[in-house]
Amino acid sequence: MTQTPSVLVVGAGAIGSFYGALLKKAGCHVSVVLRSDYEVVSQSGFEISSPMGNLSWQPDRVYRDGDRPDAAPDYLLLCVKVIPGVDRAALVRPWMGKNTTLVLIENGLDIERELADTYPANPLVSCLAFIAVSRTAPGQVSHQAYGQLVMGNFPKGFDSHCERLTGLFREAGIKVDQSQAIVGERWRKCVWNAAFNPLSVLCNGADTLTMLDAEGGEVLIRNLMREVMAVAKADGYPLPEDLVEKNIPGTRAMGAYKNSMALDYLNDRPIELDAILGNVVAIARQHQVAVPHLETILVALRMRQPSS
Amino acid sequence: MTQTPSVLVVGAGAIGSFYGALLKKAGCHVSVVLRSDYEVVSQSGFEISSPMGNLSWQPDRVYRDGDRPDAAPDYLLLCVKVIPGVDRAALVRPWMGKNTTLVLIENGLDIERELADTYPANPLVSCLAFIAVSRTAPGQVSHQAYGQLVMGNFPKGFDSHCERLTGLFREAGIKVDQSQAIVGERWRKCVWNAAFNPLSVLCNGADTLTMLDAEGGEVLIRNLMREVMAVAKADGYPLPEDLVEKNIPGTRAMGAYKNSMALDYLNDRPIELDAILGNVVAIARQHQVAVPHLETILVALRMRQPSS
């Protein structure tokens, strides 16, 4: 590894350009691979407004999808959405070197496996991002709040690559929680996401309070959360019994909130249905855990969405 | 009762004007109460195209909502939708005489009770209509197919009023199935309707084949039907065990079909959510039958619909 770490961000949308900005700020060489926005970003870089200050930056190199790299990066940040039709293992192939550490900053559950299977010799760092950030125009990103990461190796542990990345991100000003059991952290986040996100899409983009306050709404959401917890437990990741009891008032305290999947739906973008819910139901089936509420929502959304 | 039966149709939409036409054809005096279409129907009556021939007719009297009747009818056909905000017991009050037989031609389950409780001394005839009919313009109705009724007294039996009505409808050319247990017949129809109709709305008006052919779709629909059957059984109306096995291929044989609730949804009309599904879940709760799949769909739709 070089003295100055080299980073390549694949899928430099809102999330990718934000975390790329932080690593740039921490002194790394940071390049990006873009599908859209290539012209704008090549010329003017990313403009990022943020409560952390101005995070605008110019990548060291801007690649197009399909370009060949000059050299493999030390860290490859994969920040694309996890949706059908996007073969993530194929997407990173041209950029993966022998010593490249693959870093996933993506939502969902069981989203690491296909990459771990394809690149068994490369270190794999799995991150959950707690952040409100959105792309407002080509090359323009609005960071509204938060930004902390939970990080660990997949499927478990916390190696020197995690240590080094943690240091860089902290240097740039964000909080990183180090986890020896990142899969458990994904399950924990999934308890909220699997309950609220797909249901909000079924409800045409409803906000959290509309959902909780409908007749029977809070009971349904508790049932959905409990089903996710039962699957997590069967999968070897028992979560604290009072998680549901904490999630509900915590959600109410946020006020009426439209989650990212609701926003994707309302903006005609594809939704991460399998990453957030389909994989939970698949794991439930492996362990023969009954998840009738989750299953109903999953299938209803599949009936709506032509699968690709 | 007079020699020539007098009939008043309250809610003369597609269904009401069709069955009113048949009773007119059978020689009754038939008047109607209208909320919309009053001017057109007063002047030109109903134009009804039908594979049975021309069923256009002029009502003997056309009342507006709020008018006072000249005399109470022998038969009051109530054909309004069963939706929140429509107080059906109040709606018929001005027209109910001591000897008026109340005839419901309406969809759903447990929709008779509030009328039976309000008018305990009046005979109550409950009918299920199997018909494809729609209002195409003010005063204009297109009857596409079917038309048979299943008829009986609520909650059970088959009295002389049912007999007389059966004779009149048969004279006009439609099939009437006489039932001693109309509630059981409502449960039987509900197995299909409670499974397909609300789910089709959640799926933004999907047709039957789209729903059945989605990944997990047929399994979900079978589960929904089985839950309805379990509630029916607990409520004292066991249905044939093979009903689900017959319903699925029967539905496939119809081809891609948009049910009436899907059409209501797609045309921005209110949906009969409680009549078709809410009442099933309420009865399940009384009998402590678990209906997680039905419940998920009901609550998701309530989250979408502002309740009135």
Asked if residue B24 lies in contact with residue B30, where contact means CB atoms within 8 angstroms, the answer is yes
B211 and chain A in contact, CB less than 8 A: yes
DSSP code, position B57: B
Among candidate residues B217, B208, B192, the one with its CA nearest the CA of residue B277: B192
| pLDDT tier at B308, thresholds 50, 70, 90 | very low
Among candidate residues A72, A66, A189, A69, the one with its CA nearest the CA of residue A121: A72
DSSP code, position A142: E
Q: What is the pLDDT of residues B86-101, one digit of tens each?
A: 999 999 999 999 999 9
Cα B234 from chain centre: 23
- The pLDDT of A265-278, averaged and rounded, is 95
| Chain A CB contacts of B220 below 8 Å | 295-296, 299-300
Query: How far apart are the C-alpha atoms of B292 and B144, rounded to whole Å?
Result: 36
Give every CB contact of residue A224 below 8 A, 6+ residues apart in sequence: A194, A195, A199, A293, A294, A297
Residue type, A37: D
- The pLDDT of B25-37, averaged and rounded, is 95
Q: What is the pLDDT of residues B9-23, one digit of tens each?
A: 999 899 999 999 999
CB atoms within 10 A of CB B10: 25
State residue B109 phi and psi, 5-degree precision: -120, 140
- Count of A–B CB contacts within 8 Å? 81
Query: How far apart are the C-alpha atoms of B78 and B22, rounded to whole Å?
Result: 15
Give every CB contact of residue B297 below 8 A, 6+ residues apart in sequence: A296, A300, B198, B199, B202, B224, B277
3-state helix, strand, coil in chain B (%, to 5): 45, 20, 35
B304 and chain A in contact, CB less than 8 A: yes
Residue type, B280: V
B289 and chain A in contact, CB less than 8 A: no
B181 and chain A in contact, CB less than 8 A: no
Asked if residue A52 lies in contact with residue A145, where contact means CB atoms within 8 angstroms, the answer is no
Q: Flag whether pLDDT at A287 surpasses 80.
A: yes
Tokens 């906000």 correspond to: A207
Give every CB contact of residue B123 below 8 A, 6+ residues apart in sequence: B101, B102, B153, B159, B161
A296 and chain B in contact, CB less than 8 A: yes
Among candidate residues A192, A216, A199, A187, the one with its CA nearest the CA of residue A298: A199
| pLDDT tier at B154, thresholds 50, 70, 90 | very high
Tokens of B231: 């509630």
DSSP string, A91-118: HHGGG--TTPEEEEE--SSS-SHHHHHH
Residue type, B207: D
Kind and range of the H or E run holding A147: strand A140-153
Tokens of B213: 């052919």
Q: Inter-chain contact B303–A219, Cβ cutoff 8 Å?
A: no
Query: How far apart are the C-alpha atoms of A81 and A15, rounded to whole Å?
Result: 10
C-alpha triplet B232, B237, B243: angle, nearest 5°: 70
- The pLDDT of A45-61, averaged and rounded, is 96
Q: Flag whether pLDDT at B41 surpasses 90.
A: yes
| pLDDT tier at A144, thresholds 50, 70, 90 | very high
Q: Inter-chain contact B296–A298, Cβ cutoff 8 Å?
A: no
CB atoms within 10 A of CB B299: 24
Tokens of B246: 């017959």
A201 and chain B in contact, CB less than 8 A: no
Give every CB contact of residue A240 below 8 A, 6+ residues apart in sequence: none
Q: Inter-chain contact A199–B303, Cβ cutoff 8 Å?
A: yes
**3-class secondary structure, B149:** strand
CA distance B26 to chain A (A): 45
- The pLDDT of B272-289, averaged and rounded, is 98
Q: Flag whether pLDDT at A109 surpasses 60.
A: yes
- The pLDDT of B179-206, averaged and rounded, is 97
Asked if residue A262 lies in contact with residue A205, where contact means CB atoms within 8 angstroms, the answer is yes
Asked if residue A111 lies in contact with residue A279, where contact means CB atoms within 8 angstroms, the answer is yes
3-state helix, strand, coil in chain A (%, to 5): 45, 20, 35
In chain A, alpha helices (H):
14-25, 38-44, 88-92, 113-118, 160-171, 182-202, 208-213, 217-234, 243-253, 260-266, 273, 279-286, 292-304
| pLDDT tier at A308, thresholds 50, 70, 90 | very low
b/e code B270-287 from CB counts within 10 Å (16+ = b): ebbbbbbbbbbbebbeee
Percent of chain A with pLDDT over 70: 98
Tokens 């279409």 correspond to: B37
Query: How far apart are the C-alpha atoms of B175 and A200, rounded to whole Å?
Result: 45
Q: Flag whether pLDDT at A306 surpasses 60.
A: no
Q: Flag whether pLDDT at A66 surpasses 90.
A: no
pLDDT of residue A35: 86
CA distance B196 to chain A (A): 11
Q: Inter-chain contact A206–B303, Cβ cutoff 8 Å?
A: yes
Nearest CB to A303; choose among B206, B295, B304: B206
Query: How far apart are the C-alpha atoms of A118 and B44, rounded to whole Å?
Result: 74
B232 and chain A in contact, CB less than 8 A: no
Query: How far apart are the C-alpha atoms of A174 and A18, rounded to whole Å?
Result: 11
Widest pairwise Cα distance in chain B? 59
Name which of A113-117, B33-37, B57-61 the model is least confident about.
B33-37
Q: Flag whether pLDDT at A124 surpasses 80.
A: yes
Residue type, B75: Y
pLDDT of residue B70: 83
Start-to-end CA distance of chain A, whole Å, equals: 40
Asked if residue A8 lies in contact with residue A76, where contact means CB atoms within 8 angstroms, the answer is yes
Q: Inter-chain contact A303–B223, Cβ cutoff 8 Å?
A: no
**3-class secondary structure, A63:** strand
pLDDT of residue B68: 84
Determine how β-strand A62-64 pairs with β-strand A29-34.
parallel
Q: Which domains can be identified in chain B, with CATH numbers? A: 6-180 (3.40.50.720), 184-304 (1.10.1040.10)
Q: Flag whether pLDDT at A303 surpasses 70.
A: yes
| pLDDT tier at B307, thresholds 50, 70, 90 | very low
Determine how β-strand A176-178 pairs with β-strand A140-153.
parallel
Q: What is the pLDDT of residues A171-206, one digit of tens each?
A: 999 999 999 999 999 999 999 999 999 999 999 999
| pLDDT tier at A305, thresholds 50, 70, 90 | low
pLDDT averaged over every residue in chain B: 95
Q: Flag whether pLDDT at B136 surpasses 60.
A: yes
pLDDT averaged over every residue in chain A: 95
